[in-house]
Every structure is written in C-alpha cells, then in structure tokens.
C-alpha cells in the first residue's frame, strides 16, 4: 500500500521532497543527503529526465530509494516512450514494489541537452492516467486482461495554480480526476492568497493538492523562472527580499522564505513538495523553521 495515500487519507499534512538522478550511475550519491532525515518525509519524487536533460532512469533511482527505506514517487513522462513502453515500465515498476506514480507530459527535447532527440508524445498526460487507471482495473490499453491481480497504483498529476488561465487549469484537473488522478502536485507556490483562491475553486473537485515549494538560490534564479518557466510567478517583493542579503546569506534567506510559505500553506494545501535542487541538506532547517 502507498504510504502517501495513507497519510493523505488520514488528513495529515504530507511532506515530500525530490531528487534528480545523476548523469551517470552513482545514484546513491544523490540519495545520501536525504538519509539523515528520511523519517520526516512521506515520500521522495524521482524526476524523469527533468528539463529534457538525459540522466539515469527514474525507475532505477526509485528502486534505490526503496533499498534505503524511502518510499518513492516514480515520475513517468509522455515525452520519451510510446504506449507500449509506458505501460511496460509501469508494470515493471509495480512488480518491483513501486506504488506511487506522478504522470507528466515532459518538457520538449528542444529545451534539453539532446535537442535533436525525437519527442514521442504518443499519449498525453490525461491518456496516460487513463492507461494506468486501466492497469488498476486489470487490463491494458488494448483491452487485454492482465495476468495475476490488477495493480493498486496511487496516481498523481500536475497542476499550475499561478497559470494565466486558471479556468483552463481547473478544466484540466477535472479531466485528470476523471482519468484516474488521486492527487495533484503543483508548480512552486509563492503567493498564499492566490493559492487559497485556487483551492476555493477546486473545492467541488474534492481533490488532494500538494503545493510545490522551491528553495530559491538567488534573485537571478527567481527572475529566470519568471521569464522562462510557465506557471511560475515569483513576486517582486520576494525577489527584493532575496536581493537584500549578501550572497553568502542567500541560503539562510531561502530557508526563511520557504518556511514562511509552508506555514502559510498549512490548512490550505494537503501537503508540500520541497524542491531543493541540490540544497537537500537544508531541508531539515526548512522543516524546523516551519515547525514541522
């Protein structure tokens, strides 16, 4: 059974984090910083060639996490595999003990380190959710019955509360819920008021939403995200707050901002997903400052 599902079903606030597998085979190296505080985390997401940069597989890293006693969320993107590969990897993951899957479209290869790669996108994220929900019902996309028992995946999907088209996001959420999504994970949240308004709009969906929290490393990083990543809006006051301290104090200010956001999200979100991007060692300080 999924630990994440159990935590959310009980109405408890879920704390999740993520790792990006390395561009190489030393997967333990990226897991090691989490080991000292793994009991404070519900699960750890494993990115799937995030930003279209080739890395070790999400599946392999997810299995490595389990070997260290950490429950993974296996990320599965539509970009790199057709429906045969996606269903096959999902069944393989389940056979290895993985229960949580986060379904994503995946960034186009042109933004990554292999821009000449051919994108697949045989399925979109809604289609993939439907396919995985079919595996839960005991059949594949061709309608053929699985051997043994059906799967019991706990399925997640993405949503962007800060999107310029919130109505479209709500429509997509509804489609994803009908397709089988059990929970949602958001892009980084920086405006609690906006997020609360978004949650009001999702009340009828009875959805469980885990809010993204990113550790800002500099004012320049915040500006870059605003200019280049859809669905992210770092307010000017937070950029100014980061810029108000010396470079060597950026991490302290980042911890302070992240902790403040987590505190504000209690009672609004069903949990938070901390994206440390190499600053995993600072996650315990964030949790301490947020009283988690």
**From the CB of residue 246, how many other CB atoms can be counted at a distance below 10 Å?**
8
Q: How many angstroms separate the CA atoms of 79 and 125, rounded?
A: 10
Reply yes or no on whether the pLDDT at 148 is more than 90. Answer: no
Question: In degrees to the nearest 10, what's the CA dihedral of 249, 250, 253, 254?
Answer: -150
Exposed, middle or buried: residue 144 (CB in 10 Å: 0-12, 13-18, 19+)? exposed
In this prediction, residue 189 has a pLDDT band, given cuts at 50, 70 and 90, of very high
Per-residue pLDDT at 107: 92
pLDDT in tens, 222-275: 999 988 887 788 999 999 999 999 999 999 999 999 999 999 999 999 999 999
Angle at 162 between CA 245 and CA 244, to 5 degrees: 10
pLDDT higher at 163 or 115 = 115
pLDDT in tens, 42-72: 999 999 999 999 999 999 999 999 999 999 9
Domain spans of the chain, in order of start = 3-217+265-280
In this prediction, residue 80 has a pLDDT band, given cuts at 50, 70 and 90, of very high
Exposed, middle or buried: residue 111 (CB in 10 Å: 0-12, 13-18, 19+)? exposed
Q: Which CATH fold would you assign to the domain 3-217+265-280?
A: TIM Barrel (3.20.20)
Question: Which residue is listed with tokens 């994503």?
Answer: 104
Per-residue pLDDT at 139: 96
**From the CB of residue 3, how many other CB atoms can be counted at a distance below 10 Å?**
16
Per-residue pLDDT at 188: 94
Q: How many angstroms separate the CA atoms of 105 and 123, rounded?
A: 8
Cβ–Cβ < 8 Å for 71, 43:
yes
Q: How much is the mean pLDDT over the chain? A: 95
Per-residue pLDDT at 163: 82
In this prediction, residue 134 has a pLDDT band, given cuts at 50, 70 and 90, of very high
**Token duo for residue 178:** 């009908």
Q: Which residues pair with 183 in a beta bridge?
A: 156
Reply yes or no on whether the pLDDT at 167 is more than 90. Answer: no
């Amino acid at each position: 059974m999924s630990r994440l599902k159990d935590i959310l079903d009980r109405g408890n606030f879920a704390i999740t984090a993520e790792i990006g597998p390395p561009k190489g085979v030393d997967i333990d190296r990226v897991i090691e910083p989490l080991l000292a505080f793994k009991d404070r985390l519900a699960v750890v997401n494993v990115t799937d060639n995030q930003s279209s940069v080739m890395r070790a597989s999400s599946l392999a890293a997810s299995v490595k996490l389990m070997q260290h006693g950490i429950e993974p969320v296996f990320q599965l993107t539509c970009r790199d595999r057709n429906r045969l590969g996606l269903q096959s990897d999902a069944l393989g993951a389940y056979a290895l003990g993985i229960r949580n899957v986060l379904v994503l479209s995946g960034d186009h290869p042109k933004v990554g380190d292999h821009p000449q790669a051919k994108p697949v996108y045989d399925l979109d994220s809604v289609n993939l959710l439907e396919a995985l929900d079919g595996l839960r019902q005991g059949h594949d996309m061709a309608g053929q019955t699985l051997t043994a028992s059906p799967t019991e995946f706990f399925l997640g999907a993405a949503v962007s509360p800060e999107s310029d088209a919130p109505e479209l996001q709500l429509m997509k959420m509804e489609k994803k819920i009908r397709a089988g999504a059990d929970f949602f994970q958001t892009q980084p949240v920086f405006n609690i008021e906006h997020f609360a308004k978004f949650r009001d709009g999702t009340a009828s969906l009875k959805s469980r939403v885990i809010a993204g929290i990113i550790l800002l490393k500099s004012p320049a990083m915040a500006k870059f995200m605003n200019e280049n990543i859809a669905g992210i809006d770092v307010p000017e006051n937070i950029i100014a707050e980061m810029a108000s301290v010396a470079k060597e104090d950026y991490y302290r200010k980042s911890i302070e901002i992240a902790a403040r956001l987590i505190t504000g999200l209690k009672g609004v979100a069903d949990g938070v997903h901390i994206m440390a991007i190499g600053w995993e060692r600072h996650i315990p300080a964030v949790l301490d400052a947020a009283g988690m």
